[in-house]
A = this chain, B = another copy of it.
Amino acid sequence: MPTRFPGWHFLQIPGPSNVPMRVLQEIARPTVDHRGPDFPALTRDVMAGLKWVFGTEAPVIIYPASGTGAWEAALVNTLSPGDRVLMFETGHFGVEWADVATRLGVRVDMVPGDWRRGPDPQVVEERLRADSDQSYKAVAVLHNETSTGAVGRIAEVRAAMDRADHSALLLVDTISSLGSLDYRHDEWGVDVTVGASQKGLMLPPGLSFTAVSAKALAASKDASLPRSYWDWQRMIDQNERGYFPFTPASNLLFGLREAFAMMREEGLENVFERHSRHGEATRRAVASWGLENQCANPAEYSGVLTAVRLPDGCDAGPVMAIAWERYALSLGVGLGKLRGRVFRIGHLGDFNDLMLAAMLAGVESSLALAGVPIERGGVDSAMRYLEDVGR
C-alpha cells in the first residue's frame, strides 16, 4: 500500500481554502519584532486591505484567533448579560453562533428555519416592529451560511430594520464570504462584521476580524460582558500607532498583506465575478447529475460553496471517503443535522476553471463509484458554461 498520494491534493471544502504559494512563502518569512520600528508599515498595509474588502472606513480589529473568536468579540464588546439578540436558524453556523451567545449570558431569540435559505428580511421587520420597547440589542445574521450555501441578503435585512425603526445593532458574519462575495459594511449599514482569514482571503486559519461601526463602538462603552482579549478599545488605541496590545500573529499578517496584493492584481470585482461564475458552473453540474442544491432559494445561491443533497437512502460518507482516498479530494462534510445527508463543495479562494473541472470530475466519479444514482455529464455542463461565459 503506497504511503504517498502523487500530485496535488484538492482542498475543496468551504474553507480553509487552497492557500496560494505566494501567501505560503510570505508566511514562511523570518518572524520580526512586533515592537520594532518597521512594524507599523505592515500594520498599515493590512489595515488598508481589510477596510477595502470589508467596504468600510471604520476600524477593523485583527485577532490572533479563529472566526469563532471574532463571533465572541462581536458579542462581548456590544452586549451586557441578559441582553436580547435576534438570530436565525439558517443552518449549523447560525445555531453555533447562537450557542456562543447563550454561553456568554446573552438571551437569544432564534427564528426557526429549514436550513435551506437565508434570514428572511420580512421576519426581521415583523419581529422588530413587535419589539415596541426596543428590547433587542442586536440582530445577528450570517452573510454566507457555510453549512448550506445560502447567502443572507444583508442590505434587505438592514432595510427591514430601518423600516421597523429599531435601534438594534446589526451584526453580520462574513467568515466564509469575505473576499469572495460582494460585501459593503458601510454602505449596508452594518454595525459589526465578523470575518476570518482562511476562506476568501486565501490564508491558513489563525486570524479573525471585526469591523466596527461608530454606533457599535459607542455601544461598547456601556456593554458590560467581561472582556479583555477581545476588547476593541485597546486594540484601536495601539493600532493607530501601528502596534498591537499583545503579540500579533505576525507571520499570518505577512501572508495577509500578500493576499491583498494578489486580490488587487486580479481586481476585486473580478474576484467576485469569478466566484459567481464558479457557483453557477457547479450548480449546472449538480443539476446534470440530477441532484439537488441544499439552498432552495435561487436568489440566495452562493458563489462560495454548494451543498449537494443526496437522494433519500444515500449516505454522503462513502462518497466523501472515495473522493479522499482515491482522488485526494477533500469535500466538506454535512454539518449538524445535515450529516450524511449532504456534502459540501467549496469553490472559493485561489481557484480557477481547471481546478473546478478537476473537482467536479472527482465528485462525479466518486458519486458513481459510491453507487449514487446520477446522470453523467456534470463536468461537461460546467465546462461548456464556462466556455460560453468567458473569463
Contacts and interface: CB of A to CB of B under 8 A. Distances in A.
Interface of A: 2-11, 13, 15-21, 24-25, 27-37, 63-69, 72, 81, 99-100, 103-105, 196, 198, 204-206, 225-229, 231, 245-252, 262, 265-267, 270-271, 274, 321, 324, 326-330, 332-333, 350-355, 357-359, 361-362, 364-365, 368-369, 376-377, 379-380, 383-384, 386-387, 391
Contacts of A270: 2
Contacts of A196: 247
A225 B226 contact: yes
Contacts of A357: 357-358, 361-362, 379
B18 A30 contact: yes
Contacts of A4: 262, 265-266
A71 to B, nearest CB: 8
A3 B391 CA distance: 13
Contacts of A332: 35
A37 B383 CA distance: 25
Top 5 A-B residue pairs of the complex, sorted by shortest distance between their CB atoms: A7-B352, A357-B361, A206-B249, A4-B265, A358-B358
A32 B330 contact: yes
Contacts of A249: 66, 204-206, 249
A2 B34 CA distance: 23
Contacts of A321: 37
A81 B358 CA distance: 53
Contact of A266 (B6, B36, B326): B6
8 contacts: A6-B271, A7-B354, A11-B31, A16-B31, A34-B205, A354-B362, A357-B357, A376-B384
A352 B16 contact: no
A246 B105 CA distance: 20
B226 A103 contact: yes
Contact of A228 (B19, B103, B362, B383): B103
B329 A354 contact: yes
Nearest to A262: B4
B11 A30 contact: yes
Report which residue of A15, A358, A369 has the largest number of chain B beta carbons within 10 angstroms of its beta carbon: A358
A327 B355 contact: no
Given A205-B247, A205-B250, A365-B386, 9 more contacts: A9-B32, A16-B247, A25-B25, A25-B28, A31-B204, A64-B206, A66-B229, A354-B358, A358-B361
